[in-house]
Amino acid sequence: MIYQTLDEKSQGPPDGDRRKSRLTSAYQRMIAELRGRRYLDLGKDSQFSEAWIVLGIMLTLGGLLLHIQFMLAAAMALFVVAAAGWLWNELCLFGLHYQRHFSETRAFLGETIELTLEVCNQKFLPLTWLQITDVFPASLPMEEGEVVINPATNQGEYLTFWMPGAFQRLKRNFTFHCTERGYHAYGPITIRTGDGFGLFTRRAKRDNREHIIVYPRIYSVAEMRLPAKNPFGDRSAEQRMFEDPMRTIGIREWQPSDSLRRVHWKATARHRQMLSRIYEPSEDPQILIFLNVSTMRRAWQGIIPELVERAISVAGSLAAMCADKRLPVGLIANGFLPGSDQTIRLLPGRSPEQLVRILELLAAVTPFFAQPIEELLLREAPRLPWGATIVVVTALVHDELLAALSDLEQAGRQIVLFTLARETPVREIPGILVYHLPHLVEDLIAPKEVVI
C-alpha cells in the first residue's frame, strides 16, 4: 500500500499522467463497447451447429473430387453466410442504446405520466429484429399496452419489438395512470436479437433501473372539514417562549408561583434555602405528526389496505398545511420503509425541501408496523422539544392509545388526535383536541374504536 502526503494529494497527478489515464479509459470503453460489455450476456441461442461445418466440408470435398463447380459454390456460400451471420451476431449489441424518458418522475395520486421508449442503433449494421422485455410496475395501468405478470418473478413485464436500421433512432410513447401510491420500479431489461439470417440469437441483460414516486392524495382543508385558522388548536401562546423541563441551565431563588416540580432539591439542601431550576427556553412551536399504519389492534389480525391509504393521505395533508403556514413539521411512523428494518423518523424542519421529504417517506411507507403506536409515542416524546405539538393520525383508537395520550397530556404535552374510525372515542380526554373524520372513509368499512 502506498501512502501520500497531504501536499502530494493536493497537487494531484501530473498532466501527462492524467492525459494518459483519460486515453486509457477511452480505449477501454471502446473495447468494452465492441465486446458488448455494457450488457450482461445471458448466452447465445443459435441455429448454427456442427452439422453446418460438416455439410460445408462434405460439399467442398465432393466438389473437388467430382469436379462439380455447383457444390464448391454452395460450400463457399454456406461458409460466407455462416461467417457473416456470426460476425453480425457478435456486433449486434455494439452501439445499441435503450432509454426511457418520463415526463415526470414524481406525481400525485390520480395524475398521468407520459413515457417515451427510445431505441438508438449507432452503427452501420442494421438489426432486422430486436425484442426488448422491460420490467414495468403492474400496479400502474398503461393505455397503449398491457403489462403481463411473470409468474416466476411476480413482476410486470412489457414486451416490445423493434427493427432499427443503420444509425436509426426509434421512439414509442405511452401513458401511465398513477392509481397507486408508492415507489414504482422500472427495469432491468432483457434484450434478444441476432443476425439477419436467423442463424444466431443473442440474449443480454442490462441493469437499467429507474423509479417513479407517486405521492399520496392531498386533502384540502375544506375536504377534511378543519378550521382554516387554527387546525391544531389555539395557538395564542405561540409568541411566548416555552421552557423545556428536560434541560436545566441554572438555579434561582424559589418563588411562591413555582411548583414543587421546579424545586432543585439537591441545590436547596446544599445552600440551605429554597432554590428553583432555570429551564432552557425551547425553540419555536413545532408540529410532529405520528402516523399509525395499523388498522387492527393485533398484527395477526391483518390490515385494511384502503384504510391505511386514507390515513397516509391525512398525514400528508396535515404536513402540507404546516408547510403552507410555515410551521416546522416532522414525521414519525411505526411503519417500515421497503428493504429496511427501521421506522420512519424525520425531525421537524422548515426548509423548502421538508414537505418533499415527508411526501417521499409517505409514498414509500409500508402497512407493516414495527410496534404499537402508543409505545412509539411514549418512547419518542421525551426526545422532542417541549414546545412541539404532537399530532396523532390513526384509523383505530383503543384504550392503550388513549392511556398513552392521557399520560402525555398530564406531562404538559399538547396533543391533537385525528381518527378515521366510524365512531368518536367513547372516553374523552380533557385537554386533547380530537378531530373525527369519518366522511373520508364513508366508502370503506372502517373499524370502530375498541375501548375497554
Are 288 and 277 found together in one domain? no
- The torsion angles phi and psi of 200, rounded to 5 degrees, stand at -125, 145
Tens of pLDDT, residue by residue over 255-288, are: 877 778 788 888 888 888 888 887 665 555 789 9
Predicted pLDDT of residue 104 = 94
- Whether the CB-CB separation of 160 and 129 falls below 8 Å is answered with no
Residue in this structure with the C-alpha cell 414486451, named with its chain if needed = 159
Are 144 and 193 found together in one domain? yes
Range of the domain at 408: 221-236+284-441
| Cβ count within 10 A of residue 419 | 25
Separation of alpha carbons 188 and 208, rounded Å: 5
The chain-wide mean pLDDT, for the chain, equals 82
Separation of alpha carbons 75 and 50, rounded Å: 14
Are 344 and 258 found together in one domain? no
239: pLDDT strictly greater than 60: no
- Whether the CB-CB separation of 283 and 311 falls below 8 Å is answered with no
Predicted pLDDT of residue 451 = 37
- Whether the CB-CB separation of 243 and 386 falls below 8 Å is answered with yes
Query: The domain spanning residue 135 has which CATH number?
Result: 2.60.40.10
Tens of pLDDT, residue by residue over 347-357, are: 888 888 999 99
Distances (CA, A) of 345 to 357, 369, 384: 11, 13, 12
Peptide bond into 281 cis (omega under 30): no
Residue 70 domain-assigned?
no
174: nearest Cα among 147, 153, 209, 206: 147
Reported as a pLDDT band with limits 50, 70 and 90, residue 45 is low
Separation of alpha carbons 271 and 18, rounded Å: 72
Are 291 and 435 found together in one domain? yes
Q: Are strands 286-291 and 329-336 parallel, antiparallel or unpaired?
A: parallel
Tens of pLDDT, residue by residue over 57-113, are: 888 888 888 888 888 888 888 888 888 988 998 899 999 999 999 999 999 999 999
Residue 377 domain-assigned?
yes
Are 306 and 322 found together in one domain? yes
Distances (CA, A) of 326 to 177, 179, 242, 349, 350: 32, 30, 19, 10, 7
Residues in the chain: 452
Separation of alpha carbons 155 and 389, rounded Å: 42
Predicted pLDDT of residue 77 = 87
- The torsion angles phi and psi of 80, rounded to 5 degrees, stand at -65, -45
Predicted pLDDT of residue 21 = 66
Are 318 and 335 found together in one domain? yes
For residue 37, what is the DSSP state? T
Separation of alpha carbons 231 and 329, rounded Å: 14
220: pLDDT strictly greater than 50: yes
Are 177 and 253 found together in one domain? no
- Whether the CB-CB separation of 121 and 168 falls below 8 Å is answered with yes
Are 207 and 310 found together in one domain? no
Separation of alpha carbons 158 and 422, rounded Å: 42
Residue 37 domain-assigned?
no
Q: Which of 194-198, 359-363, 447-451 has the highest mean pLDDT?
A: 359-363
**357: which 3 cell numbers?**
421529504
Residue 397 domain-assigned?
yes
Are 341 and 303 found together in one domain? yes
Reported as a pLDDT band with limits 50, 70 and 90, residue 236 is very low
Of residues 23 and 239, more confidence is placed in 23
At 82, which amino acid appears?
A: A
Q: How many structural domains does the chain have?
A: 3
Residue 327 domain-assigned?
yes
Query: The domain spanning residue 341 has which CATH number?
Result: 3.40.50.410
Residue 10 domain-assigned?
no
What's the rounded mean pLDDT across residues 31-43? 58
Of residues 234 and 340, more confidence is placed in 340
Instruction: List beta partners, residue 168.
Output: 121
The H or E element containing residue 160 is strand 155-162
Are 184 and 253 found together in one domain? no
Residue 410 domain-assigned?
yes
Are 191 and 292 found together in one domain? no
At 218, which amino acid appears?
A: I
187: nearest Cα among 166, 201, 172, 208: 208
Q: Which residues contact 294 (CB under 8 A, 6 or more apart)?
A: 303, 334, 369, 372, 373, 394, 395, 396
Predicted pLDDT of residue 177 = 94
For residue 429, what is the DSSP state? -
Are 393 and 416 found together in one domain? yes
Tens of pLDDT, residue by residue over 297-329, are: 776 677 888 999 999 999 999 999 999 988 899
Q: Are strands 106-108 and 210-215 parallel, antiparallel or unpaired?
A: parallel
Residue 110 domain-assigned?
yes
